Amino acid sequence: MSVVLIGLQIIASVGLIATVLLQSGKSAGMSGAIAGGAETVFGKKKGMDALFSKLSTIFAVMFMLVTLLSSLV
């Protein structure tokens, strides 16, 4: 059981790292913060950024669940 959890933990870790690094960077400064907030509210994410955002959320949830399960076992 622990071997399976360790394998899932490694997959979740590598997937989370890869998807976060593949996302495009945000603009620096106050104008980037305002524009980024407006894009989030109005849903301007499209294409690969949206895919990487969803994948990073999935990998993060998977990482947390596997970590909690491994602490209980």
CA distance 35 to 7: 39
Predicted pLDDT at 55: 93
Tokens representing residue 40 in the block: 């989030």
pLDDT score for 24: 81
* CA separation, residue 25 to residues 33, 34, 36, 50, 65 (Å): 12, 15, 11, 13, 28
State the Cα–Cα distance between residues 64 and 60, nearest whole angstrom: 6
**Which residue has tokens 């994948």?**
55
Range among 7-11, 23-27, 33-37, 51-55 rated most confident: 7-11
| Number of domains observed in the structure of the chain | 1
| Boundaries of domain holding 44 | 2-72
